[in-house]
């Protein structure tokens, strides 16, 4: 702004991206920009360079803190996803290990039905003798 005078919003956002790796929320960035350039403020008093430097340092430290917080959240999410992926895999392996059990249960059920039919036939035969 010092060298060229007026700076567009796109140029401002590009510079924020270059310096801090993020551009922030558009409304908030432009609100601050209007306040700093005096276009949106009621009292259009210029802010001294020292104040601007302090605000920039505060914004940079805030950005560093937010980035660290986001990285921690990403790490926790990744650990959470890995935990549950391993748990699902373990349960799938346990279920496949018991796959033969279903066949054994079906065989036993068929045997029970066959024996029940034989028992009913024997009962009917006994009833017929009495």
9-36 pLDDT, tens digit each:
778 788 888 888 877 777 777 777 777 7
CA distance 38 to 14: 21
CA distance 66 to 58: 12
CA distance 88 to 78: 15
CA distance 90 to 15: 49
Q: Which residues contact 38 (CB under 8 A, 6 or more apart)?
A: 44, 45, 46
User: What does pTM read for this prediction?
Assistant: 0.38
Helices (H), 45-98: 49-97
54-64 pLDDT, tens digit each:
888 889 989 99
């Amino acid at each position: 702004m010092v060298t060229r005078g007026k700076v567009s919003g796109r140029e401002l956002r590009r510079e924020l991206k270059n310096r801090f790796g993020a551009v922030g929320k558009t409304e908030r960035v432009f609100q601050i920009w209007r306040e700093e350039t005096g276009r949106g403020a009621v009292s259009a008093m210029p802010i001294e360079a020292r104040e601007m430097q302090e605000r920039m340092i505060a914004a940079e430290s805030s950005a560093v803190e937010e980035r660290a917080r986001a990285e921690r959240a990403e790490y926790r999410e990744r650990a959470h996803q890995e935990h549950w992926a391993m748990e699902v895999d373990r349960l799938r392996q346990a279920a496949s290990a018991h796959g033969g059990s279903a066949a054994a249960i079906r065989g036993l059920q068929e045997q029970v039905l066959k024996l029940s039919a034989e028992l009913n036939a024997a009962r009917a035969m006994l009833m017929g003798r009495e």
